[in-house]
Amino acid sequence: MKLEIQQHHFTELEYLAFELDSEIKHELIDGRIYDMSGGTNNHNDISMNIMGYLFVQLGHSLCKPCNSDTKVKVGNNFFYPDVMVKCETNESGQDHFITSPVIIFEVLSKSTSKKDRTKKLLSYLNIESLQAYVMVEQSKMLVEVLRKSDGFKPCYYFKDDSIPFKTPDISLSVNDIYAGLDISEK
């Protein structure tokens, strides 16, 4: 089945119908469907830490965090970021994806880092609403943030640093992102 999926060029509607019936998640990139692999415990813990701190800080505001079960549509592609923040209540009337995130977080791994730093990065930067793209290493305390306000130039954060965001007006500490994990400070 996997070979057939990769050889067929899927339309958005075919992908969405396929994804609704699937027991596992897939991304649609340039008409091709790709299986989503499972993450490590560190990957999951980092994502959950980010979600938890965002949930508390955003409280009852219009902005809400979304976990990795929420797809983002970029052009004709669909991705499952690890964490996103959306600030629109009526997201294009869609129940299965969003189109206007303001912050996207990806937790990097050996198998996904290249795609997160190339295809996804180039796609995400085309989202008009996007204010920040955040790439979080899982093997060392290193967070890379690309902000629209800085022309998407990378800014790096390490242990004890606080990461400010303007839209929405929140901050995350690197220590909180890696809370409970035994990660080196390199």
Q: Enumerate domains of the chain plus CATH numbers.
A: 1-36 (no CATH), 38-177 (3.90.1570.10)
Span 97-109, average pLDDT:
94
Q: Which two tokens stand for residue 73?
A: 């549509």
Residue-wise DSSP of 140-167: BS-EEEEEGGGTT-EEEE-TT-EEEETT
Which band of pLDDT confidence, cut at 50, 70 and 90, is reported for residue 146?
A: very high
Q: Quote the pTM value.
A: 0.90
Q: What rounded mean pLDDT belongs to the chain?
A: 89
Span 53-80, average pLDDT:
93
**Above 60 in pLDDT, residue 85?**
yes
Instruction: Identify the CA nearest to 107 among candidates 149, 143, 60.
Output: 143
Which band of pLDDT confidence, cut at 50, 70 and 90, is reported for residue 2?
A: very low
Q: What is the pLDDT of residues 31-65, one digit of tens each?
A: 998 888 777 889 999 999 999 999 999 988 999 99
Flag the least confident range among 32-41, 90-99, 107-116.
Answer: 90-99
